[in-house]
Chain A
Amino acid sequence: MSSMHRVLSLAAAAVILSMPVFSTAASDAAATPRPAAWTDLRQQQPITGDAQAGLAKSAVCAACHGPQGLAIAPNFPNLAGQSATYLYVQLKTLKNGQRSDPIMGGQAAALSDADMRNLAAYYSSLPPKPSGHADAVSRGEQIFLNGDPTRGVPPCQGCHGPTGQGPRVYSSDAPKPPWSTFPRLHGQSALYVTKALGDFSSGARSGTSNALIMHGVAQTLGDADIQALSTYIATQ
Chain B
Amino acid sequence: MAATPKGSLVRMRTRRATGVMALSLAALLAVTGGLGGVLLWSPGAHAQQSAGDSADTSHQPSSRLSESDIARMLPSTDMGAGASMHHDMHAHAFDDGPATPFDAASIPPNPLAPSADAIGAKSCVACHALEGIQASHSLHVASFRAGSARSGPQAACESCHGPGSEHAKNPAAPGLIIAYTHDAKTPIETQTRTCLSCHVGGARQHWIGSVHQERGLSCTDCHNPMTRQSAEGVLANDSINQVCASCHQDVRAQFNRRSHMPLPEGQISCVDCHNPHGSITAPLLKTDTVNETCTTCHAEKRGPFLFEHAPVGENCLNCHAPHGSNQESLLVLPVPMLCQQCHTNSDHPNDLLTRQNLRNGLAPDERVMGRSCLSCHSNIHGSNNPSGAKFHQ
- What is the interface of chain A, defined by CB distance below 8 A to chain B? 32-33, 145-147, 149-155, 157-159, 162, 167-170, 172-174, 176-177, 179, 212-213, 215-217, 219-220
Chain A residues in 8 Å Cβ range of B125: 216
Chain A residues in 8 Å Cβ range of B127: 154, 158-159, 213, 216-217
Closest partner residue, chain A, to B174 (CB atom): A170
Of listed B117, B125, B129, B169, residue having the most chain A CB within 10 A:
B169
Q: Evaluate contact between B126 and A220: CB separation under 8 angstroms.
A: yes
Residue count of chain B within 8 Å CB distance of chain A? 34
Interface positions, chain B 101-146, Cβ under 8 Å from A, are 117-127, 129-130, 133
Chain A residues in 8 Å Cβ range of B246: none
> How many residue-residue contacts, CB under 8 A, span A and B?
94
Q: Contact check: which of A146, A172, A177, A220 meets B169 at CB < 8 Å? A: A146
**Interface majority SS (helix, strand, loop, mixed), chain A:** loop
Other than A150-B120, A152-B123, A216-B126, give 7 A-B pairs with Cβ distance below 8 A: A149-B120, A153-B123, A155-B168, A157-B169, A168-B170, A174-B181, A220-B122
Chain A residues in 8 Å Cβ range of B119: 147, 149, 154
Closest partner residue, chain B, to A161 (CB atom): B170
* Cα separation A213 to B130 with both chains bound (whole Å): 9
Chain A residues in 8 Å Cβ range of B221: none
Of listed B117, B124, B170, B181, residue having the most chain A CB within 10 A:
B170
Q: Evaluate contact between B133 and A32: CB separation under 8 angstroms.
A: yes
* Cα separation A179 to B87 with both chains bound (whole Å): 29
Chain B residues in 8 Å Cβ range of A216: 82, 84-85, 125-127, 129
Min distance, Cβ A125 to any Cβ of chain B, angstroms: 25
Q: Contact check: which of B120, B129, B133, B165 meets A146 at CB < 8 Å? A: B165
Q: Evaluate contact between B78 and A151: CB separation under 8 angstroms.
A: yes
Closest partner residue, chain A, to B78 (CB atom): A152
Min distance, Cβ B2 to any Cβ of chain A, angstroms: 71
Chain A residues in 8 Å Cβ range of B170: 157-158, 168
Q: Contact check: which of B80, B121, B169, B183 meets A158 at CB < 8 Å? A: B169
> Assuming A153-B123, A155-B168, is B84 touching A220 (CB within 8 A)?
yes
Q: Evaluate contact between B85 and A150: CB separation under 8 angstroms.
A: no
Of listed B84, B125, B127, B165, residue having the most chain A CB within 10 A:
B127
> B271 at interface (Cβ–Cβ under 8 A)?
no
Q: Evaluate contact between B75 and A145: CB separation under 8 angstroms.
A: no
> Assuming A149-B117, A217-B127, is B172 touching A170 (CB within 8 A)?
yes
> B77 at interface (Cβ–Cβ under 8 A)?
yes
Q: Evaluate contact between B183 and A173: CB separation under 8 angstroms.
A: yes
Q: Evaluate contact between B173 and A154: CB separation under 8 angstroms.
A: no
> B76 at interface (Cβ–Cβ under 8 A)?
yes
